[in-house]
């Protein structure tokens, strides 16, 4: 009998017909309350890796996994509701599920929950709550959430205005691989906003932003 981790990886790695047996086994494990198995089957149907692509089945299995406390599946189900994939489009349900994922420690769930409350998508707009969710996402390792939290402190939007804290969050975002975080930090060093002015550090961060795929940073001065 495979372990939960082995089962989840196998579900994503195997292609039909080899997948058929383990899909049946995982579906049975899901019926017996194994949240990881439910999540893996949902992932397979969502991506088409290891099973025929089927958004309705993906949402169903992610729903079972989410109900059993699988945070990533709550996020994936939220994504399905946000985009109408296998379920009716429902921004309020998406926001609720993203927040549930965040409460379970899923960084991207916090990011998307923050976006929902920041924009007022399916919920009453609340930039203070959005900033809190972004910070939780950052602390859970989501680099884009660090970037969004940084903007909250830079502009005083939902969080106390604090340029120094903003730069630290932009640099965390950059360190996590989010190129726009590198560029935002570079601008701060170029202008001396929240940190001592440092053209060398600004250029270094601008280059990293370009190298990491943020094309607006390429061939431009960090100070604009």
CB neighbours of 189 closer than 8 A, spacing ≥ 6? 167, 195, 197, 198, 199, 201, 202, 205, 222
Structurally, how many domains does the chain consist of?
Answer: 3
Classify each residue of 38-68 as buried b or exposed e, where b means 16 or more C-beta atoms within 10 Å of its C-beta.
bbbbbbbbbeeebbeeeeebbbbbbbbbbeb
Owner of token pair 């397979």: 44
Q: Using DSSP, state whether 149 is helix, strand or coil.
A: helix
What is the C-alpha to C-alpha distance for residues 152 and 134, in angstroms, rounded to an integer? 9
Indicate whether 101 and 157 sit together in one domain: yes
Mean pLDDT by 10 residues, the chain (224 residues): 51 51 87 94 91 96 97 98 98 98 98 98 98 98 98 97 98 98 98 98 97 89 45
End residue of a domain, out of 132, 161, 190: 161
Shared-domain flag, residues 100 and 154: yes
In this structure, the answer to whether residues 65 and 120 fall within a common structural domain is: no
Do 136 and 178 lie in one domain? The reply is no
10: in domain: yes
80 close to 62: Cβ distance less than 8 angstroms: yes
- Tokens representing 109 are 């769930």
In angstroms, rounded to a whole number, what is the distance separating the alpha carbons of residues 170 and 54? 38
Residues 50, 102 share a domain: no
Residue 50 is predicted with a pLDDT of 81
Residue 217 lies in a domain: yes
Domain identity same for 8 and 51: yes
In a domain, 85, yes or no: no
Position 24 scores a pLDDT of: 86
Find the domain containing 57 and state its range: 1-71
Where a domain ends, among 129, 161, 193?
Answer: 161
pTM for the whole thing? Answer: 0.88
Distance, in Å, from the CA atom of 87 to the CA atom of 74, rounded to the nearest integer, reads 14
């Amino acid at each position: 009998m495979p372990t939960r981790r082995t089962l989840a990886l196998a579900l994503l790695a195997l292609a039909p017909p080899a997948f058929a047996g383990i899909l049946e086994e995982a579906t049975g494990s899901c019926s017996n309350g194994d949240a990881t198995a439910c999540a893996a089957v949902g992932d397979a149907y969502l991506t088409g890796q290891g099973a025929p692509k089927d958004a309705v089945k993906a949402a169903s299995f992610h729903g079972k996994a989410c109900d059993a406390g699988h945070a990533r599946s709550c996020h994936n189900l939220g994504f399905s509701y946000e985009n109408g994939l296998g379920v009716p489009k429902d921004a309020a349900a998406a926001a609720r599920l993203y927040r549930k994922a965040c409460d379970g420690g899923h960084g991207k769930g916090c990011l998307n929950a923050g976006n929902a409350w920041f924009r007022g998508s399916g919920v009453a707009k609340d930039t203070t709550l959005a900033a809190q969710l972004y910070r939780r996402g950052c602390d859970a390792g989501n680099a884009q959430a660090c970037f969004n939290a940084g903007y909250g402190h830079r502009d005083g939007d939902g969080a106390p205005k604090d340029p120094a804290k903003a730069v630290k969050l932009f640099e965390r975002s950059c360190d996590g691989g989010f190129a726009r975080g590198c560029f935002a930090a570079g601008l701060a060093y170029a202008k001396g906003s929240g940190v001592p002015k440092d053209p060398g550090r600004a250029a270094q961060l601008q280059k990293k932003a370009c190298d990491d795929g943020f094309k607006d940073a390429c061939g431009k001065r960090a100070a604009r």
